[in-house]
């Protein structure tokens, strides 16, 4: 009990310090190793992930595939609520709670998404964003085998989200394995849905590693800055006029 209270107090103190500044530039001191891992990940995508995703998407009817993706997204909602609370964004926590309740009941366990039709869009988040809100800096850029691009902060966030996921902890075996399976199936759907974009980055750009790194950092920093700007009257994309030095 004391440990949990101490953790909560520490989190409150970190939130009081304010979010970490949005990083700029590229902090990639281990680029040589990261490029090797990127080459490995690209090989895995070419040999396994891309053909599996295309086969998965072609075999399943679109409504079934969408239902599985909806179900997987709904499983993330309790984790979003926990992170919203840790970020002291209680309005967003309430919205995500309502969304989970609607989709888990009217939406038949999350297979359907009536919450969006009712105007409850939700606010996806993660522990990496929580660390950002607590003032933890971005750290170094890196590539992780089978996972892809990340930063020191976001890698810790992914690990914590997986280990402490409320749904995974609440479900007994083998139900917890089914939940994991739907998450993997949802990733396959994403790979097929955005296949042309992913292929252009990995296989058609002059330097797929640099392109992947640039896009990941742009998107992640803009998402974190936009989330912080919601409470401050807006956020201007600092990369709007940034030219990709690796573009052909």
What does the pLDDT average to over 130-138?
Answer: 96
pTM above 0.85, yes or no: no
Q: What is the pLDDT of residue 49?
A: 96
Q: How far, in whole angstroms, is CA 120 from its chain's centroid? A: 20
Q: What is the mean pLDDT of the chain?
A: 85
Q: Indicate the pLDDT class of residue 187, thresholds 50, 70 and 90.
A: very high
Which residue in 11, 3, 217 sits closest to 127, CA to CA? 11
What does the pLDDT average to over 179-206?
Answer: 92
Q: How far, in whole angstroms, is CA 144 from its chain's centroid? A: 15
Which residue in 223, 19, 247, 154 sits closest to 237, CA to CA? 223
Q: Are 67 and 111 in contact (CB under 8 A)?
A: yes
Q: Report the percentage of the chain scoring pLDDT > 70.
A: 84
Of the listed ranges 16-30, 130-144, 198-212, the least confidently predicted one is 16-30
What does the pLDDT average to over 184-208?
Answer: 94
Q: What is the pLDDT of residue 234?
A: 38
What does the pLDDT average to over 71-87?
Answer: 94
Which residue in 61, 65, 82, 83 sits closest to 187, CA to CA? 65
Q: What is the pLDDT of residue 48?
A: 96
- Residue 125: count other Cβ atoms within 10 Å of its Cβ: 26
Q: What is the pLDDT of residue 1?
A: 39
- Residue 45: count other Cβ atoms within 10 Å of its Cβ: 20
Q: What is the pLDDT of residue 242?
A: 41
pLDDT in tens, 140-186: 999 999 999 999 999 999 999 988 888 777 777 777 777 788 889 99
Handedness of CA 37, 42, 48, 49 (dihedral sign): positive
Helix/strand/coil for 156: helix
Q: Check residues 236 and 159 and name the one with the higher pLDDT.
A: 159
Q: Indicate the pLDDT class of residue 226, thresholds 50, 70 and 90.
A: low
Over 80: is that where the pLDDT of 246 sits? no
Q: What is the pLDDT of residue 180?
A: 81
- Residue 102: count other Cβ atoms within 10 Å of its Cβ: 21
Over 70: is that where the pLDDT of 80 sits? yes
Q: Report the percentage of the chain scoring pLDDT > 90.
A: 71
pLDDT in tens, 35-61: 999 999 999 999 999 999 999 999 999
Gap between the Cα atoms of 59 and 57, Å rounded: 6
What string of DSSP letters covers 75-134? HHHHHHHHHHHHTT-HHHHHHHHHHHHHHHHTTTTTTS-HHHHTT-------HHHHHHHT
- The token duo for 9 is 């107090």
Handedness of CA 237, 240, 242, 244 (dihedral sign): positive
Q: What is the pLDDT of residue 5?
A: 38
């Amino acid at each position: 009990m004391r440990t949990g209270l101490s953790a909560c107090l520490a989190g409150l103190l970190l939130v009081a310090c304010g979010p970490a500044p949005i990083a700029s530039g590229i902090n990639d001191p281990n680029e040589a190793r990261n490029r090797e891992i990127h080459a490995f990940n690209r090989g895995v995508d070419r040999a396994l992930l891309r053909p599996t995703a295309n086969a998965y998407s072609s075999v399943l009817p679109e409504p079934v595939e969408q239902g599985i993706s909806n179900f997987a997204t709904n499983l993330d909602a309790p984790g979003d609520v926990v992170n919203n609370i840790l970020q002291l964004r209680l309005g967003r926590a309430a919205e995500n709670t309502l969304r989970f309740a609607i989709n888990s009941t009217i939406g038949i366990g999350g297979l359907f998404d009536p919450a969006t039709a009712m105007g409850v869009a939700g606010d996806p988040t993660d522990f990496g964003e929580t660390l950002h809100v607590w003032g933890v800096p971005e750290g170094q850029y890196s590539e992780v085998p089978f996972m892809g691009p990340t930063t020191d902060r976001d890698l810790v966030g992914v690990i914590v989200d997986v280990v402490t996921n409320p749904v995974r902890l609440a479900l007994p075996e083998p139900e917890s394995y089914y939940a994991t399976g739907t998450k993997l199936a949802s990733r396959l759907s994403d790979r097929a849905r955005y296949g042309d974009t992913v292929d252009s980055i990995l296989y058609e750009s002059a330097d797929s590693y640099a392109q992947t790194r640039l896009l990941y950092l742009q998107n992640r920093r803009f998402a974190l800055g936009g989330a912080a700007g919601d409470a401050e009257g807006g956020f201007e994309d600092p990369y709007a006029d940034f030219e990709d030095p690796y573009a052909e």
